[in-house]
Chains A and B, each alone.
Chain A
């Protein structure tokens, strides 16, 4: 039983090693370069939220209901943004 336990422990350690290996050696430079360059080109950056047209697409925009612009809306993003 001790042997089975050690085998399980080794497998667990290998999985942690694989995770850190991926974390340390994954080439993220290309991804970061592209994002930085688009930011320079557009002079601003915001996540590409796939939101409905009346929800804020730009991070600092506020949303309003097109039918009742004066009404405060609550949308999914309100739960994600800490106000």
Chain B
């Protein structure tokens, strides 16, 4: 059989029987689209988080009370600084502020604005930020989600916090953090350390935890032992643990999505197999005619293989391209809420493009092989029967 004749026949067959294939193509596109979109979102979030790791502290130390994290004494900073090999010891003050009337919460983070590096970064991320007027009164910088929420509740210039002591604290909304940082700062409020302590109900000598670096990796385990000897009521979180948490975050192998995908794909294959085992009389007739005019079993299977590989490739490519556009151009409306939640403030994030090529390759194989098997096995069963019997 000449290749051009075969190709001509194949394409004619595909276009002539398009109504037969359209259902399988549409369902395949939908499955591939959903799975690829989920993978694109999870890979993008994971790679963004992994990139932030290098700027994070190697260790954080928190005091525990009855198994729960509690305020850490500020004096611990001096004790930790005395350890050999430790650098950049810094206090961290953060906590969630619950806005009772609307049952929403904000993440308050205290920042030492007098530190040179912090002041420099602030100037870079918030174009024309003047520190003097910012620090001259109680002011804060808010994430986009917080800004939208406060605006909607008529807190346009100021917001009044209620401290745990029952006092009211009026804080000026100075500026909004850039939308580009929404992925981590949507519900964030940045304010001076002292102000954050006051709003979160901490004493001056109390902080949330202590962050520090140990530049020599070989010293890490030693430092952990020293910390546990120094303090009995302490929880030490290493960067390695955070890294592991990020690696496991949205892990497709452990995720619900893979289970759902497997159920869907198996169901789809079963439907497909059943459809082709009860092949329509036209299909049986078609194979019978081809066999009667001299096509070998091999030729019939070759035709069916190419016919279905075209369907598989078209569905896969369209599914992946549509998913890419949905996630990285439209920023995954609705589906992003499954990942980031929608119970608190509304978050519109921009995903940084990241394509998991290896995973997409595996999906193609997991999708293409059962698909082809579900079609070729019944076709082979008909092809091996005599043409006369097949056309009955």
What residues make up the interface of A, taking CB atoms closer than 8 Å to B? 1-2, 4-5, 8, 12, 15-16, 18-19, 22-23, 26, 28, 30-53, 55, 57, 59-60, 76-77, 79-83
Contact = CB atoms under 8 A, between A and B. Distances in A.
6 interchain residue pairs of minimum CB distance = A82-B254, A82-B251, A48-B186, A5-B11, A50-B341, A34-B180
29 contacts: A1-B8, A1-B12, A2-B8, A5-B15, A8-B314, A22-B329, A26-B328, A30-B180, A31-B350, A32-B352, A37-B124, A37-B125, A38-B185, A40-B117, A40-B121, A41-B121, A42-B94, A42-B109, A43-B92, A43-B211, A44-B60, A45-B56, A48-B185, A48-B340, A48-B349, A51-B343, A53-B98, A55-B341, A80-B255
Interface in B103-130: 103, 105, 107, 109, 111, 117-118, 121-122, 124-125
Contacts of A26: 328, 353
A37 B8 contact: no
A12 B353 contact: no
A45 B187 CA distance: 13
A21 to B, nearest CB: 11
Interface of B: 7-8, 11-12, 14-15, 45, 48-49, 51-52, 55-57, 60, 90, 92, 94, 96, 98, 103, 105, 107, 109, 111, 117-118, 121-122, 124-125, 143, 145, 177-178, 180-188, 190, 211, 237, 241-242, 245-246, 248-251, 253-256, 314, 317-318, 320-321, 324-325, 328-329, 337, 339-347, 349-350, 352-353, 355
Contact of B255 (A37, A57, A82): A82
Given A44-B92, A60-B242, A80 B250 contact: yes
A50 B14 contact: no
A12 to B, nearest CB: 5
A43 B90 contact: yes
Contacts of A50: 145, 186-187, 337, 340-347
B348 to A, nearest CB: 11
A59 B340 contact: no
Contact of B7 (A2, A8, A59): A2
A36 B182 contact: no
Contacts of A5: 11, 14-15
B48 A35 contact: yes
Contacts of A46: 184
B125 A52 contact: no
Nearest to A23: B353
A38 B187 contact: no
B245 A53 contact: no
A2 B143 CA distance: 55
Contacts of A79: 255-256
A53 to B, nearest CB: 5
Nearest to B242: A60
Given A2-B7, A35-B181, A82-B254, A48 B122 contact: no
A1 B185 CA distance: 54
A38 B256 CA distance: 31
Nearest to B256: A79
Contacts of B314: 8, 12
Contacts of B245: 59-60, 81
Contact of A42 (B96, B111, B237, B355): B111
B317 A1 contact: no
Contact of A47 (B183, B253, B329, B350): B183
B181 A38 contact: yes
A76 B341 contact: yes
A16 B246 CA distance: 30
A23 B145 CA distance: 27
Contacts of A80: 249-250, 255-256, 339
Given A15-B317, A50-B345, A40 B55 contact: yes
Contacts of A41: 111, 118, 121-122, 125, 190
B341 A28 contact: no
Contacts of B56: 39, 43-45
A53 B186 CA distance: 15
A1 to B, nearest CB: 5
B211 A45 contact: no
